[in-house]
Amino acid sequence: MRIFNFSPGPAMLPEPVLREAAAEMLDWHGTGMGVMEMSHRGKEFVSIADKAEADLRALLAIGDDYEVLFLQGGAIGENAIVPMNLFGGHTVADYIHTGEWSKKSIKEAGKYGRVNVAASSEADGFTRIPERSTWRLTPGAAYVHICGNETIGGVEYHWTPDVGGVPLVADMSSHILSRPLPVGKYGVIYAGAQKNIGPAGLTIVIARKDLLDRALPITPSAFHWKEQAAADSMLNTPPTYAIYVAGLVFEWLLAQGGLPAIEQKNIAKAKLLYDCLDGTRFFTSPVRREDRSRMNVPFKLPDPALDEPFLKGAKERGMVQLKGHRSVGGMRASIYNAMPIEGVRALVEWMKEFERKHG
């Protein structure tokens, strides 16, 4: 029996994707071998990678002026790889600090150049996105970096910042492919796969081609976007199986009607859960309403002593991974694309039942 897995990542995958991957585990399309056994340079895997890239470009309407790279290292790796690739010829980069993942990005970037924290919501407990009017940007900065969705704090940009002629760089690990995206307004988009794309081990990088000549001389070849682009993301052996499963997810998304259709489903799921939170004083949501994430919904019970009974009861009802991050406590429901609305309904029903017993 499948459970409702509210994990923030690695997260649940669409069941049809898992079934197709299972059916092809021993024999992909009559080749007599599984994808994990294929040469990454063989025609079979190259066809898988090419289709995955084409489908991702179709989903996000990515233009020919952008490279799409399938790399390794995760988003934390890209926290270092971004400045290595973009600091060349520049001395400072601007970062917007909206939570734990922004903090990690700032720390890594500081190893390669000067970081200006142009705005921060730390004083408000990272419960909102700082208004654009408060950002103190550096003229001629190498780039402006944002974390599009803070997985831990549940804060999401529902707008695209205007930063002038400076490249906008975004970590979109936990909300990429959850809605249409104006790719052309960004210089670089990167995302770890293990939330909305596929298995852990794959990192997607979408980089504007005119930014590929900015790498610092110390940049290793495996992390050098221009070199990887020239090698079709195969300068070193790529995470082949993760790319294959990501490709199946892209096919699944297209079959759902693409990102406009999946966005409507995500809006409905988030509304169901937030309406429950807003309709009670028993559970509380800390995030400012206009900045609430559709993907990661943190909430708290009135007494931390109730946390374990709540989690125990949820598990008994087929719902797991609802415990909040250790840095903030409470609960967190991650409701990525693969979470069906039935899972959110089950959670809301349990929340109301638990309140009746303990409220």
Asked if 171 is an active-site residue, the reply is yes
Using the predicted structure, report yes or no on whether residue 23 has a pLDDT greater than 90. Answer: yes
Cα three-residue angle 201-176-333, rounded to 5 degrees: 85
Quick one: pLDDT at residue 323? Answer: 96
pLDDT surpassing 80 at residue 1:
no
Separation between Cα atoms, residue 62 and residue 42, nearest integer Å: 26
Give pLDDT, residue 21: 98
- Sequence-separated (6 or more) residues with CB below 8 Å from residue 61: 180, 183
- Of 28, 55, 103, 195, which is the active-site residue? 195
Name the percent of the chain lying above pLDDT 90.
98
Q: Which of 348, 304, 357 is nearest to 326 (CA)?
A: 304
Confidence of residue 359 (pLDDT cuts 50, 70, 90): confident
Task: Give per-residue pLDDT as tens, 92-111.
Answer: 999 999 999 999 999 999 99
Convert the pLDDT of each residue in 111-155 to its tens digit.
999 999 999 999 999 999 999 999 999 999 999 999 999 999 999
Rounded CA gap, 46 and 29, in Å? 14
Average pLDDT, the chain: 97
Mean pLDDT confidence for 227-241:
97
Superfamily of domain 257-358: Aspartate Aminotransferase, domain 1 (3.90.1150.10)
Residue 189 in this model has a pLDDT that exceeds 90: yes
CA 73 from chain centre, in angstroms, equals 14
Q: Does domain 16-255 have CATH number 3.40.640.10?
A: yes
Question: Tokens for 169?
Answer: 């760089």
Active-site pick, 28, 55, 94, 101: 101
What is the band of 178 on the pLDDT scale with cuts at 50, 70, 90?
very high
Average pLDDT of the segment spanning 216-240: 97
Nearest to 124 by CA among 148, 150, 104, 144: 150
Strands 4-5 and 319-320: parallel
- Map out the domains of the chain as residue ranges: 16-255, 257-358
Question: Which runs of consecutive H residues, i.e. helices, occur in the chain?
Answer: 15-23, 43-60, 74-86, 100-109, 225-230, 240-255, 258-278, 307-316, 341-358
Q: What percent of the chain has pLDDT over 70?
A: 100
Q: Are strands 144-147 and 92-97 parallel, antiparallel or unpaired?
A: parallel
Q: How confident is the model at residue 34 (pLDDT cuts 50, 70, 90)?
A: very high
Tell me whether the CATH fold assigned to 16-255 matches the one assigned to 257-358.
no
Burial of 77 (0-12, 13-18, 19+ CB in 10 A): middle
Indicate which residue of 28, 171, 225, 269 is catalytic: 171
Q: What is the pLDDT of residues 289-329, one digit of tens each?
A: 999 999 999 999 999 999 999 999 999 999 999 999 887 88
Residue 88 has pLDDT above 80, yes or no: yes
Residue 269 annotated in active site: no
Residue 319: the pLDDT is 98
Residue 144's pLDDT is: 98
